[in-house]
Structure 1
Amino acid sequence: MQKLIMTLKSLQTKLQTNAQMLLIAAFIFGILGLWMLVLLRCDICNRSQGQKRPFFSLLSQYLTSRAVSILSLLQRRRLELNTKNIQQVQHNTLLYRIHRNRNTEYGKLYRFSEITDRKTFCTLHPLTRYDHYKDYILRIGKGEENVLISERPSVLSMTSGTSGSSAMLPSTRVTVNDFHQGFGMCFNSMLNVYPQTGNLQRTAKFFYPSNWSHSESGIPIGPNCLSSMTSKHKFNMYSTPAAGFEITAEPEALYVHLLFALKERTLGMLEANFASIVYHSFAFLQSKWEELIEDIRLGHVNPKLKITDDVRLKLSAQLKPDPRRASELAAEFGSGFRGIARRVWPHLNLVLAVDSGSNELYGSHLKQFYCEGVPIYSPVYAATEGLIGVNLWPEKEERHYLLCPQSMFCEFIPVDLCNEEQPQTLFMDEVKENSLYELVVTNASGLYRYRIGDIVKVVGFHNQCPVVEFKYRQDQMLNVRGEKITEKTFYQALLRAVKLWPGAVLLDYCCVESSLLGPFCGGSDPHYEVFVEIKGVRNLSEDQRYKLDQCLQEDSMVYQSCRRKGSIGPVRVHIVAAGSFKELMNFIIANLGTSYSQFKMHRVLRKKEFLDFIQRKVIS
């Protein structure tokens, strides 16, 4: 009995000791937890740049940002590993896609089950263009299964239509994931170079939802993944409330984006798919700033804005009168628009938008005028076909993109063989630095050995993987006598010519081959008709207009030879009214059924109705 009592007392003592230890541990963990919460709150407050936002709104953005940061670091490490064994990664990427679709009608036709390596693939499957797939895609839209790919596409994506007409391409979930991973890798690069972008400042995202349609079988038809809106849990990161992203009309949506962006003095970033969207947003701001600051002063949404009552009610709930901010903005706008971005948003860190290719002119306008002093990061090289490359060097002026070896299986046609229908191609591990190639891709959505029409220059290698610079699109090349003037060559010549026009600043331009004019070409010799929107001058002399032709001759020996022989006539330059190219953009979008968020300006017009439209805008 006495032993039992002693055992019970001993057990009681141990329990008391354990309880005390648990209390001490709980106390210590409680202190540590409280300390971590204090540190977390301090970190959030430090990163908030003095914003007067609810703490839980900041906390939500903080947690999202940290999660994206960790995920992007993992994706970047995976990319680095892939670039160290490029041949094997490309081999696996190709065979996975071939194996996945080997039992489709298309796979059986091209004997996918016999393909064991890239050379067999190139032997059994020809190089292709869009017409090769058109009937297959129409059948997929009608609901036929197992035709081109083994899964039902999530979207039938419309291309931007720079070739003159918009094409429809299937997009799968894999394509969507590739885009997300690409932006994740870019987010990692952005944080490394611009760590201040990790602050809890809101971003003004200029995004315009599309009016989606559906195929006969119910597959959504619309823009590609690059143009799709981000997931709803990220709305806290944007200055525009969620209701603003429901507005499909471009002028109304842009007005709302600008209204809420201007309210946010601590804005940290401007984001859009392309630099053209940001540029046109500032041009719109320049014409509407008085109405916008009046809305901020009164704390309401402009009653003239054509939006639904439901959306207006949701937006109005986010607005309060702010006469102090309105007065501050009025003073800045009254001082002019050079450098306006940094003046109205003193904490602005970055403009995130693609400014290569046809968007180079708009990027230049932003850097030299509206966004003076604010860096621009062009994050990805992408197309409707999918993600092609990522820019891991945000701080560099040159827009170089590392090809993503798991996104596309890539082949390269040396530029001097581009006119051949079935030229010999090279693989990623066979290309040479400083050489030009036409890019050929096999993607995850049923395009095999597809000639997308892009010409790229290999500027170097990251580990074993090519780093490329986009040079031009073949369908945007001027060619009336075999002279083949690329978009880049013409643009550089035009910039030089404009410098010879005293006081002139080039705002926008496009070209037309005289054959599109038909019997009204104004002469028998084929030539280029050039339409420019400029500020600073109202007219040009014939000698000044001829400067462009001289610059082209200096930049192209073939063009110069044709001019001297008289087989090509001189360039004819036309000045159009202010705002004409924005109107042309609206006209092309309405005509082709593309979206504002994916539109790229057509530097060479291929459709007569587009030419007729811009001709009506000529003032000189």
Structure 2
Amino acid sequence: MLEKMQERVDMEAVMEEFESLTMDAGRVQRETLQRILEENGGCEYLSRLGLNGRTDPQSFKACVPIVTHADIEPYIRRIADDDGGDNSSIITAKPIPAISLSSGTTQGKPKYLPFNDELVENTMQIYKTSFAFRNREYPIDNGKALQLIYSSKQFKTKGGLRAGTATTHLFSSAEFKQTLRATQRPCCSPDEVIFGGDYHHSLYCHLLCGLIFRHQVQLISSTFAHSIVHAFRTFEQIWHHLVADIRRGSLSSRVTSAPIRSAMAKLLKPDPDLADAIQSKCTSLSNWYGLIPELFPNVKYVYGIMTGSMEPYIKKLRHYAGEIPLISADYGASEGWIGVNVNPALPPEEATFVVLPNVGYFEFIPLDGGAAVGLTEVEVGKEYEVVTTSFAGLYRYKLGDVVRVAGFRNGAPELRFVCRRNVVLSVNVDKNTETDLQAAVEAAARAAAAEKVEVVDYTSCVDASSEPARYVVFWEMSGGASDEVVEECCNRLDRSFEEAGYVAMRKINGIGPLELRILRRGTFQKVMDHFVGLGGAVSQFKTPRCVGADNGKLMQILAANVVKSCFSTAY
């Protein structure tokens, strides 16, 4: 009882701290910038810009330019390659202990980014704050979490620094593990499964562990919604094997890792009753609707990032979850955190994120033009590109994210994620964003519903080799669709791009007829395998929605798996 009371007091204290920080967000922002510059003002990057010890926002903005990753990449590469082991004077006062890798899905290869202890501290604050509000809405009592999380491959840079995804660095941090246990609840899976190295084996064992503890699971989570959908799509294919393992009490020979096998041997024992129960559930479900509550009857909610490029997976996730709430996780990037979801009852499509003013210094560039403004100077209803200054050595760094200000929580803005700014389809004067592509795909996919076929995943590119150039959209579908349906989907896709420049150029043949290419089943699994092979983690994978011409390997994978193609006749 005392332990529960202490936990409740701690959560209340976390929420009180959040209210205090956001109440005077402007002051906290100034103090945050001052701390960053006092700690790092003597580094090479900042000292050459003429700040001369000044830490006020006006001097900072006057002296320090807004940059992209391309501008800062040479400094990060020097840190990664410095075999002297002392990189403390380049972008931060203290040495950078590790390099984190972005997912690499946007540009075709992972970005190198600095990672340090301050980012771990920020993560712990975000997780505690988010959990406090979430647990007030959906209390969890002595349960377990089915966490579909995976480490990535790690390696040493030329300078001897650890390099891997930010999530891998976090999962291996003792402080983070302690915070995770205090918020997400004990994970069903042992560490050997999370750090197993082969995500196919890890996923198999995650699902097996979840089934073993099925009545104790109160939370299902992963970094991204895609990982959860991918897990249950996989479950549809392998549930017979999982049931057999439970009935037999031993792990399938398909999992070959000795550490994983040893860890799983401690959990598995013959349980024919559990095997029969799971088999009965799987054989009685219609089209797998409500799979999650059927398998895990005490689950309270499903949790993961569901905004941006994850939004297309919400429909399928709702199919699996039935009436179980879906909660979008907090707003961050490989570069650092931005905001926290303190309104967990909102559906994922309406999720907002309150900026925590002490995890970094933030500026916002208005999309309709003008200079960057501070955190408290943004206007409700307007859209901005996010600029961050972090404790890890990024100064006035453009994240490439577009957000809309939905309102204010105390003195801090509530943001709604809109899209990645640099993910666009464009041939001429047309500018279609990731959000525009998603809306077009959703509208066109309705034409396949009559044949009970759904779009599993999608991406796109611009074919500049044709005359005139045109949009190409790639679909992987859940089953075979007739030629007539594919043609109708193609025409609907073309008509659903409503951006004025596109429509005008299509009507005068300035842009060629859209092409829809249907992919072989499992193609996006191959795409994910490719990015994981580059050093990414499956729980951090995001399907690229627009493939650039320079991403040759990905284009090869897509081209090799096209089974059907058609051109629009909509114009």
Match of 1:530 among 470, 473, 494: 473
Structural mapping, 1:348-497, within 5 Å: 348-367=299-318, 369-397=319-347, 398-417=350-369, 424-497=371-444
Question: Who is 1:345 aligned against?
Answer: 296
In the alignment, structure 1 residue 241 sits paired with structure 2 residue 190: yes
CA distance in 2, matches of 1:525, 1:378: 41
2:63 aligned partner, one-letter code: L
CA contact (8 A) 1:455 1:473 kept: yes
Question: Who is 2:560 aligned against?
Answer: 616
Question: Who is 1:216 aligned against?
Answer: 158
**RMSD, matched Cα:** 1.9
After superposition, the C-alpha distances for 1:460-502 in whole angstroms (9 at most, x for unaligned) are 1111111111111022111121311011111112111111333
Question: Who is 2:208 aligned against?
Answer: 259
Deviation at 1:356, TM superposition (A): 0.7
CA distance in 1, matches of 2:260, 2:378: 53
CA contact (8 A) 1:179 1:225 kept: no
Give TM-score, length-normalised by structure 2.
0.91
Consecutive unaligned residues of structure 1, counting only runs of 5 or more, are 1-38, 41-62, 418-422, 516-520
Deviation at 1:331, TM superposition (A): 0.7
Question: Who is 1:327 aligned against?
Answer: 276
CA distance in 1, matches of 2:169, 2:153: 13
CA contact (8 A) 2:154 2:535 kept: no
2:158 aligned partner, one-letter code: E
Question: Who is 1:545 aligned against?
Answer: 490
Question: Who is 2:240 aligned against?
Answer: 290
Using CA pairs under 8 Å that are at least 6 residues apart, name the structure with larger relative contact order, 1 or 2: 2
**SS at 1:255 equivalent:** helix
CA distance in 2, matches of 1:525, 1:547: 20
Q: How many residues align?
A: 541
CA contact (8 A) 1:411 1:425 kept: yes
In the alignment, structure 1 residue 585 sits paired with structure 2 residue 528: yes
CA distance in 1, matches of 2:8, 2:523: 42
Highest Rg: 1 or 2? 1
In the alignment, structure 1 residue 149 sits paired with structure 2 residue 92: yes
Deviation at 1:386, TM superposition (A): 0.7
After superposition, the C-alpha distances for 1:7-50 in whole angstroms (9 at most, x for unaligned) are xxxxxxxxxxxxxxxxxxxxxxxxxxxxxxxx67xxxxxxxxxx
**SS at 1:392 equivalent:** coil
Match of 2:41 among 96, 102, 107: 102
After superposition, the C-alpha distances for 1:173-201 in whole angstroms (9 at most, x for unaligned) are 11110011001001111111112x2x111
**SS at 2:455 equivalent:** strand
Distance 1:580 1:67, change over 3 A: farther
**SS at 2:399 equivalent:** strand
2:514 aligned partner, one-letter code: V
**SS at 2:343 equivalent:** coil
CA contact (8 A) 1:73 1:185 kept: no
In the alignment, structure 1 residue 190 sits paired with structure 2 residue 134: yes
Question: Who is 1:270 aligned against?
Answer: 220
After superposition, the C-alpha distances for 1:272-312 in whole angstroms (9 at most, x for unaligned) are 1011011110011111101100000111111231212x431
Deviation at 1:245, TM superposition (A): 2.6
2:224 aligned partner, one-letter code: F
2:329 aligned partner, one-letter code: P
Distance 1:608 1:111, change over 3 A: same
**SS at 2:512 equivalent:** coil
Give TM-score, length-normalised by structure 1.
0.84
Question: Who is 1:601 aligned against?
Answer: 543
In the alignment, structure 1 residue 181 sits paired with structure 2 residue 133: no
**SS at 1:567 equivalent:** coil
Deviation at 1:133, TM superposition (A): 1.4
Deviation at 1:314, TM superposition (A): 2.9
CA contact (8 A) 1:163 1:476 kept: no
CA distance in 2, matches of 1:489, 1:600: 17
**SS at 1:500 equivalent:** helix
1:138 aligned partner, one-letter code: R
Deviation at 1:619, TM superposition (A): 1.4
Question: Who is 2:568 aligned against?
Answer: none
Deviation at 1:404, TM superposition (A): 1.2
Question: Who is 1:300 aligned against?
Answer: 250
Question: Who is 1:280 aligned against?
Answer: 230
CA distance in 2, matches of 1:166, 1:209: 15
CA distance in 1, matches of 2:6, 2:206: 26
Deviation at 1:71, TM superposition (A): 3.8
Match of 1:119 among 52, 58, 61: 58
CA distance in 1, matches of 2:5, 2:67: 43
CA distance in 2, matches of 1:66, 1:498: 50
Deviation at 1:120, TM superposition (A): 1.4
Deviation at 1:536, TM superposition (A): 5.1
Question: Who is 1:506 aligned against?
Answer: 455
Deviation at 1:428, TM superposition (A): 1.4
CA distance in 1, matches of 2:149, 2:155: 19
CA distance in 1, matches of 2:389, 2:339: 14
Consecutive unaligned residues of structure 2, counting only runs of 5 or more, are 565-571
Deviation at 1:395, TM superposition (A): 0.6
CA contact (8 A) 1:102 1:111 kept: no
CA distance in 2, matches of 1:379, 1:601: 18
2:138 aligned partner, one-letter code: Y
CA distance in 2, matches of 1:226, 1:187: 21
After superposition, the C-alpha distances for 1:220-279 in whole angstroms (9 at most, x for unaligned) are 101114873264556781111333233110000011111111111211111110110111
Task: Tell me which protein shows more helix as a share of its residues.
Answer: 1
**SS at 1:113 equivalent:** coil
Q: Which moved more, 1:397-406 or 1:110-119?
A: 110-119
